[in-house]
Structure 1
Amino acid sequence: MTGAISPPPLKRRRIATETPVPHMATAFVTIDLYSWNVNGIGPFVQQSITTFFKSTSNSGASSADTSPSLREFLRSHSWPALLFLQEVKIRADDTQTRRAVQRAVSRQAGEAEGTPDYVAHFTLPNDPHNARGFGGKVYGVCSIIRKDFSDKYVERVRDVTWDQEGRFSVIETKAVVNVPKMAIYNVYMVNGTDNPYKDALTGEVKGTRHDRKLAVHALLAADCGKLVNEGYEVIVSGDINIARAPVDGHPNLRTTPQQHVLNRQDFERRFFGTPNPVALTADDHAMKAIAGSSPITGLGMVDVYRKLHPNTRAYSYFPRGRPFGTSCDRVDMILCTPGLSANCTNASILGTPGDRGPSDHVPIYASFDIDKIQDPGDG
């Protein structure tokens, strides 16, 4: 693997830092967001050993002899507001594992007074035709929210109506003083393949997983666009299952089969294109077949890691079965609407073997500092 990987910040401000002035204070709401495709939650709840992530000085060491701890991860990263997990692989009826995850992120006995507590929200598959593998232990996302942040800012946590595979969770926040309404998506995007996609209700084959991937691009973009029109700032975070450009793939960006190129083009247009309708070119027959005669309206979103590190080669996915770093891609991303992009103060990929843990992905991170005006009674 070539190029430098930016290290995660060691210290960040807590949720509010006030600068005292007469009667009023300028403050920051700091939203630290970590996202990680864990490739199965099992190792995080099967044992209680908490040595994983315990020492940043040993982050380059192999994790083969340690067990991961969600609580230690939160502690070692200064108690972030949000931790998004993808591909948790929990059956919808598995309440025992869900309770175990909640215990794993909750305040522990013996911890100092005031140590943050967390609440875990799950979106799990209920699609009987497309989420049957491994006894239903496929897909699924978990949004872990620091409780004080949830109590003050979160209006609701919801699923989306157009997906039953357990891939999308949305945190909608309230507008508080100068902090805008936000919709923060935890996403595990579809991986495009030639395997069949079946209607979630009838089981009828409706095309391939490539077709479903393109449909999900359109559905998610429409969902985000609706919220933008309602005055929300939007963050999309998770496993996008697309590497955007040559700098995001090592040793090369995937360009075959051709459908992967078309998937990438569609994603770029919908999420990063101009917010005005973009007419398709006359010779773009493949994309016309996907989009019909309607132009694609872009969201103009910002890839915060690439904005802050425009030329850095850093990767989030390292397939098993190959030496670490010999084949990898940046497929995990944090995107935001333009109104929030200036508030993103840091973005990192925790791309060492130690950060990798039991997954074939490593965590990613972004921090948003949002100014607000605070009066003395605003707690």
Structure 2
Amino acid sequence: MAAAPYGDQRRGARPVRIGVVTGAYHPDVGGVETHARRLCAALVAAGDEVEVLTQHAVGADETIDGVLVRRFPLTVAARNYRFSAALWSYLRGHAGRYDLLHAHSYHALAALPAALTNDTPLVFTPHYHGTGHSRVRRALHPIYRPVGRRIIARSSRLIAVTNAERELLVRHFPEAADRIVVIPNGTDPVRFDIEVADEPGRSILCVGRLERYKRVDRVIRAMTRLSDEHRLDVVGAGPARDELEQLARRLGLGDDRVRFHGRLAEDTFATRMTVAAAAVSASAHEAFGMAVADALAAGLPTVASFIPAHRELAVMAGSGVPLWLVNPDDEVALADALRVASATERIDLGRHPLPTWSDVVLETREVYAGVVPRARLIEQSGAGATER
């Protein structure tokens, strides 16, 4: 049995109180949002007290997966630079109620108040891509770096989700090298015990936020080189949806060839996974590649872009998984890989080698143990006890 992760776990010691700070949270869709939700749910299941501090168009509190989610109203609603003054104010006045803060995403402004408004112990998961994802954001990225350096300097530990991300962080922030640990994301295999009606053709599933850097346009163009029996099912929302739909129409690909499903409820998404013949991700930048990892964990033949995060996933998954790494800018190669993958049988991996979220929580709590002073974790009992 593993040792207790927070030092003294004697009777009378209370659960650890964790404030998770993130720019967006479920039901918003994206890799960071998915990572944060799965991590928080698993931490609560392990016995911790978790509150999510995030921002939204409308402020509200709700409970999701046993996690209290505090949404603070946006002061600036610009898509790429969302900012909530209310979140800053709350952290300035209430950060001390948590034993530690865990902030997510270098690329979102919500991490700033977690770092700059208080002295509560801080863990930072940057989900770092090293660049912006539009011309304007790429231009602003070097200007923002001194601010990012302050967040990194303030962090007791940084968690990278791949060695590739760690190497990129060390290249840009060498002073952080001895504080970075690598904890890969977990996988969340979809249930396959549901009954679904047979669908004609071969479904190729593309999952993720619809941003230009995800390069879904390359996949759509590759569909023109596949026979009519192949269908692309695009799951996710985002600012690039309209132009992607227009591209599909210009290429003569109707709804029978390319379907945009938007966000899907979990059961509906499970149906998409069940009927899929293959999965694809053509993304140009990923810290990890959760959609690829989940597809591989389900034994689904998968085509992915030849980027460092996906190459590392291929090594982690081992030689037995049906994975093809290609350059999405080579339309012929991408189409050929999709054709082969969609004709390959799904495999039963049994206990697959990719980490689970239970693995992630165990390692994350060990990081927390090294950050939080023991004195914060032992609650006095009897006379003189005070409530925080």
TM-score (ref. length: structure 2): 0.35
**Greater relative contact order (Cα < 8 A, sep 6+):** 1
Greater Cα radius of gyration, structure 1 or 2: 2
